[in-house]
Structure 1
Amino acid sequence: MSDRKRTRGFRGLRVTALCAAGLTAGTVSVLPAMDDRSSARAADFDFDRGNAITDVLWSRVGHVIKTQVSPKGNDATLVFRIAAMAAVAQFDAIAPYRERAVGLYSDLGRRPASEGATNRNKNIALLYASYRVYQSLVPAASGEWREMISSVGLDPDDDRENTTSAVGIGNMAGNAVVRGRAHDGMNQLGDEGGRRYNRQPYADYLGYRPVNSAYKLTDPSHWQPAVVTKGNGVFQVQQFITPQMSVTKPFSYDSPKQFVPPPPHNSDYRHNEKGYREQADQMLAASAGLDDRKKMIAEFFDDKFRGIGFSVGMIALNKHASLDTFVEHTAATDVAGFDALITSWYAKYKYNAVRPFSAIRFLYRGKRVTAWGGPGKGTVTDMPGEEWQSYLDVPDHTEYPSGSTSVCASAAQAGRRVFGTDDITLSFRFAKGSSLTEPGITPAADTVLSWNTWSEWVSQCAWSRVLGGVHFPSAVRASQEFGPKIGDRAYELVHAHAEGKARPIG
């Protein structure tokens, strides 16, 4: 098959995948042909002109992570750790083929011009680097990761490590990131706290215990685990997911204490009952005012793959970024998001703030409220306060600040720095009835969300958490304040490595 036919065929597959996801892809750039050829056989993917991240990884990784890690894509800590480690590995894998770049976790030298810093070599290297990271982080999906590599004609058993081949460079870059982050505080190996036997990956080793039980709110200022169900008769009590994220090592700064927001004073019922009640009433007003568009905004950003990770990638793709720039953008934005979550979790652990559902049920028990009445009910005026529920599933961690907003705000700032502008092109179409909360009902007609600036995108990301009923306005405002500062740090870290002005971490 000729390169031209192969490219056309795969681009058709890519556009189909994007349309199935609901995203408007816009114009997809094709990089100019390169000279170097390797012996690797690409069945559908054009190594010389394509982008392996968008053309190979996008269509596979999200599905696997949702299957193995986060079914709804909203468990932010693990999702963004995987994203950040893969993005850094991809950056490090192509560094030897760039003019000055040095990896964040490895310095693999510079490949000579005679060898050719080709798109082919870069794509092969970043695929193997990604493969090593995914195999380490999600070993249960080993068969799918192997098939991912095999599908483009590469050998998943080729584990050589050298600096004279794209395969060897990719393996070295990926393995270096895996080693460098194995004991970063997230407890990936389940051995933190000195545990030797029956290890439990990502288990809490800090000893977090909630102030309130799921069945009694003894302190209305602090987090209460929710009782959750999938509608199958099984009811479970939430556990604070990965509280150790609060002590995990960031990529781009030393300590989250540098950015931690002030206490959430409106959540202090004992000392500020007026503010406590005001923010609860704000949530009730947002719930009562939900319409189809607001519901779709809430659902869009709740899915960390589609609403944040995939969107940020599409923004770069719609700017016709070269492979080098795309990889740099991905590394900067994913590092920004992960590092912002560390600060968010530090504050969540420190302040242990109450969620809206607990506050509203506490304040309005035995009283009638006006709010969204549940799937298909619309806004009702006679709901018992103790039956109030957020439109989105309540996350299994404390309220303040908003982790999702911190990721959006930090990633947007890193993206602005990469491209030097606030302007973006991004749109998303929700098909009629495609809601996850109200399937077959919402939206009543096809609904398009679109953004022309990073600022608009961040603003909607922040407000989506209020619309979804899972965060008070003060939580999203706090994240909008510190998020961009971390975005700047992440961009400056990655850019310094791109320019060869920094040495590997560690």
Structure 2
Amino acid sequence: MDKRVLTDKSELRKLVTSVGAVFLASVLFTACGGSSKKNEDVTPPVVLTPERDGHSVARMWNEVLLTAIRNDYARPTVHARNLFHISSAMFDAWSVYNPQAHGFLFGNEVAGFSCAADTINVPEDVLPQQELAISHAAYRIIQHRFKFSPGTFEIMEAADSLMQNLGFNIDDESLDYSQGSAAALGNYIADCYIQFGLQDGSNEQNDYANTSYQTVNPPLALSGGDPGNPNIVDWNRWQPLAINGFVDQAGNPIDDAPSFLGPEWGSVVPFSLSDNDKTEFTRDGFDYQVYHDPGMPPLIEGELSDEYKWGFSLVAIWSSHLDQNDGVLWDISPKNIGNISSFPNSFTEFNEFYKQIEGGDPSTGYALNPVTDQPYEEQLVPRGDYTRVLAEFWADGPESETPPGHWFVILNTVSDHELLEKRWAGKGDILGALEWDIKSYFAMGGTMHDSAVAAWGIKGRYDYIRPVSAIRAMAGGQSSDPALSSYHVNGLPLIENYIELVTESDPLAADNPENVGKIKMYAWKGPEHISNPVFAQAGVDWILAEKWWPYQRPTFVTPPFAGYVSGHSTYSRAAAELMTAMTGSAYFPGGMSEFEVKANEFLVFEEGPSVDMTLQWATYQDASDQCSLSRIWGGIHPPADDIPGRKIGAKIGTDSFEFVQSFFTE
């Protein structure tokens, strides 16, 4: 699956130009007084549209939207909402002309907001009108939502080019569709979503700023600061990072100590989430809205203190897997990886699911590809290459469409597959490109939006610490043996060959005798050991635990929001459940999806990988599970953040699909 679908504007132009001519012909025919309505004397001409030839207009606008997200700030919550609102607006515009569907916002009241709808005459050939309304709806919302983006010029150039190639008038801003204008209808629907968005709890009018949240911990200085985490106040709570020249995951310079992104996002009006799934938690005078509350994560001095230490030490140990020269080879094919049947039910069972020393999970793989009825072919690669590729592939860094957008890319890749039969839920007639895209985008948009509302509501409520803060805080001591030096009840557990004490003969003490008795760990050495990421890599060795780094860029380190629960795990599992339901199969078309990785070309954080490889997934859930593990190898999440996110995502994906069905009456 190609993460770089249509990131280049020239490719976008090729796509729209290939269908623009025939679509423009149909628009001009109608504008010049033509009619496709049947009468007893005239047989209407066949009107060719993108529905019948090539990509649908909905797909074209989705590509423009993904381009817009790649050129905006890295805000997964905001973009999950953008993906939903624009996909839903396109669905509403399409459904006006379809008697077997009804809109989400158009003609309805949602959370107290009404979008009134008047009757519109529906022509016999509805496709040109649907696509005109869809285009105006998408265009107007993109124009509104991305007008202050750092890449607004590139965004609007892509949007304007698509409108031009489709033959539509960007200057037609009328909202009056009483005379049957599809363009005005699209503008009106867009205006409903824009007004809805200004009162949906997102605080869009103030650039999504927090209204109440305050962090309890001072920033951890990672650029020129003291080793360890000497100023942390609460080892259970989120801590901002102070990084000189901080750059967000979209490549945009941000404040050197960015604030928590979206701690109050649980208050945003969701798609399918129910009040029955919601609890409320008040802290510092603010009522945090929490859907699918997973309960308290492990705390450093609570009943699950050992699980807290185990989880964050596992992150440190998995950091040792980021070395292509460690001699460990893994079969990364579906023959060996994937097919997880269940998750642990409590934090005390996590050590039975995650392989603390070796890495990975209890995957069993698959004996046969169910589509070809042939065995999956073994693929042996160095573990240190595979883990680094995973960490970067799923990280959604520069030029990325963020995690919710990433799943739209996956959806588009699946939709383009020659073996996919576009039968909704795997049943009934094969749908045309437009109907399939409209319905699947509506479903995926709502699912990704609900995932953001749920995950970030939990993040705000629990305000949980990230690995870089926890590991550096615990690095001041060891909690395994009171008889040994540097004992501290809240210190790191000693684990032979991975977390040990520095001795007098240790190389770490050769020029620095003050390091004797400190905690060391065998881990990725960090970005300061990379002279140039194009041709150098840090490698793995013994380092002082107080200097531990996640496998990330030095200008980023960790996302600026709490860890619990993992957004990647929630988004991905929800999307996987939805893809399974929409396609009627747990498997990718053909029984496997692939992504090619070239040696010494793919990695950005450092040189590598050392070999070519192909990331492979048999099922949508396998891809989701791999995404979840990638965040541990990347040093972003401990296991405690992961499994609750997967479980919540599974529930959201199932509920969202059931809710989507209520908008179809066929």
Same-fold call, TM cutoff 0.5: yes
For residues 125-140 of structure 1, the aligned pairs below 5 Å read 125-140=133-148
Cα displacement (A) at 1:496: 0.9
User: Does 229-238 or 245-254 show the bigger shift?
Assistant: 229-238
Distance 1:446 1:169 in 2: 50
**What are the within-5 Å matches in structure 2 for residues 108-147 of structure 1?**
114-118=123-127, 120-140=128-148, 141=152, 143-144=156-157, 145-147=159-161
Contact kept? 1:264, 1:474, Cα under 8 Å: yes
Which of residues 403, 410, 433 in structure 2 aligns to 1:311? 410
Shift of 1:172: 2.3
Question: How high is the sequence identity, in percent, across the aligned residues?
Answer: 21
More helix by share: 1
CA contact (8 A) 1:313 1:330 kept: no
AA in 2 matched with 1:205: T
Residues 353 and 400, structure 1, Cα contact 8 Å, conserved in 2 = yes
- Residue in structure 1 matched with residue 442 of structure 2 by the alignment: 331
Q: Does 1:99 align with 2:99?
A: yes
1:259 and 2:256 equivalent?
no
Unaligned stretches of 5+ in structure 1?
A: 1-14, 22-27, 191-200, 501-506
Asked if structure 2 preserves the Cα contact closer than 8 Å seen for 1:52 and 1:127, the reply is no
Do the aligned residues in 1 keep the contact of 2:573 with 2:624 (CA within 8 Å)?
yes
Q: Provide, for residues 222-264 of structure 1, a one-character-per-residue CA deviation record: whole Å limited to 9, x for no partner.
A: 1111123448999811310122212211121244434111211
* Contact 2:24/2:167 (8 A) holds in 1: no
Residue 166 of structure 1 aligns with which residue? Answer: 182
Report matched runs for 1:267-278 at 5 Å: 267-278=299-310
1:110–1:428 CA distance, 2 compared to 1 (3 A): farther
Is the alpha carbon distance of 1:491 and 1:55 closer, same or farther for their aligned partners in structure 2, counting shifts above 3 Å? Answer: closer
The match for 1:286 among 297, 315, 318 is 318
Deviations 1:298-344 (A, max 9, x none): 22222126643311332233235332122111111121111111111
| Per-residue deviation, 1:484 | 1.7
Q: Measure, in 2, the Cα distance between the counterparts of 1:460 and 1:488.
A: 20
Aligned to 2:550, the other structure's residue is in SS state: coil
Deviations 1:461-502 (A, max 9, x none): 2112112110111211001111121122222222211228xx
SS of equivalent residue, structure 2 residue 522: strand
Q: How many residues align?
A: 458
> CA offset at residue 101 of structure 1?
0.8
What SS class does the counterpart of residue 84 from structure 1 fall into? helix
Question: Contact 2:216–2:234 at 8 Å: present in 1 too?
Answer: no
- Kept after mapping to 2: 8 A contact 1:332/1:415: no
* Contact 1:368–1:385 (Cα < 8 Å) also in 2: yes
User: Alignment RMSD, CA only?
Assistant: 3.2
Cα offset, 1:146, TM superposition = 3.1
Separation (CA, whole Å) in 1 of partners of 2:569 and 2:208: 23
Distance, in Å, in 2 between the alignment partners of 1:295 and 1:117 is: 49
Distance 1:332 1:368, change over 3 A: same
- The alignment partner of 2:104 has SS state of coil
Q: Which residue of 1 aligns with 2:214?
A: 208
Write the distance in 2 (CA, Å) between the matches of 1:92 and 1:343.
Answer: 24
* Residues in 1 aligned to 2:171 and 2:232: alpha-carbon distance in whole angstroms: 54
| TM-fit CA distance, 1:173 | 2.2
Secondary structure, aligned partner of 2:142: helix
Alignment of 1:81-480 (within 5 A): 81-107=81-107, 114-118=123-127, 120-140=128-148, 141=152, 143-144=156-157, 145-161=159-175, 162=177, 164-190=180-206, 201-215=207-221, 216-230=231-245, 236-255=256-275, 256-257=278-279, 258-265=291-298, 267-290=299-322, 291-303=384-396, 304=402, 307-318=406-417, 319=420, 321=422, 322=432, 323-365=434-476, 366-374=518-526, 375=530, 376-392=536-552, 393-425=557-589, 426-435=593-602, 437-438=604-605, 441-480=607-646
Greater mean alpha carbon deviation, residues 417-426 or residues 144-153: 144-153
Counterpart check, 1:486 vs 2:652: yes
- Equivalent position SS for 2:564: coil
Deviation at 1:113, TM superposition (A): 6.5
> Which residue in the other structure is 2:28 paired with?
39
What's the offset of the Cα at 1:19? 8.4
Kindly tell me: are residues 436 and 208 of structure 1, through their superposed partners in 2, closer, same or farther at Cα, counting changes over 3 Å? farther
Partner AA of 2:166 in structure 1: V
Q: Equivalents in 1 of 2:255, 2:184: separation in Å?
A: 49
CA pair 155-248 structure 1, distance change in 2 beyond 3 A: same
Q: CA deviation at 1:18?
A: 3.5
Helix, strand or coil: the match of 2:205? coil
d(CA) in 2 for partners of 1:477, 1:51: 37
CA distance in 1, matches of 2:454, 2:4: 34
1:51 to 52, 55, 59: 55
Counterpart amino acid of 1:468? G
Distance 1:316 1:424 in 2: 10
Give SS of 1:37's match: helix
SS of 1:236's partner is coil
Provide the rounded CA distance (Å) in 2 between the counterparts of 1:85 and 1:40. Answer: 32
Query: Would you say the 8 A contact 2:262–2:460 is kept in 1?
Result: no
**Structure-2 change in CA distance of 1:62 and 1:279 (3 Å):** same
SS of equivalent residue, structure 1 residue 60? helix
Q: Secondary structure at the match of 2:233?
A: coil
Match of 2:490 in 1: none
Question: 1:10-49 residue pairs with structure 2 within 5 A?
Answer: 18=5, 37-39=26-28, 46=50, 48-49=52-53
Residue identity opposite 2:264 in structure 1: Q
The answer as to whether partners of 1:34 and 1:49 remain within 8 angstroms in 2 is no
Q: 1:423 to 1:36 in 2, by over 3 A?
A: farther
Amino acid at match of 1:226: L
- Per the normalisation by structure 1, the TM-score is 0.82
Whether contact under 8 Å (1:130, 1:174) holds in the other structure is yes
Opposite residue 133 of structure 2, the aligned amino acid is A
- Bigger drift between 460-469 and 297-306 goes to 297-306
**Matched residue type, 2:174:** R
Q: Radius of gyration: which is bigger? A: 2
Alpha-carbon distance in structure 1 between the residues aligned to 2:29 and 2:4: 25
Cα offset, 1:61, TM superposition: 3.0
Shift of 1:48: 4.8
- Residue 6 of structure 1 is matched in structure 2 by none
Partner SS, residue 26 of structure 2? coil
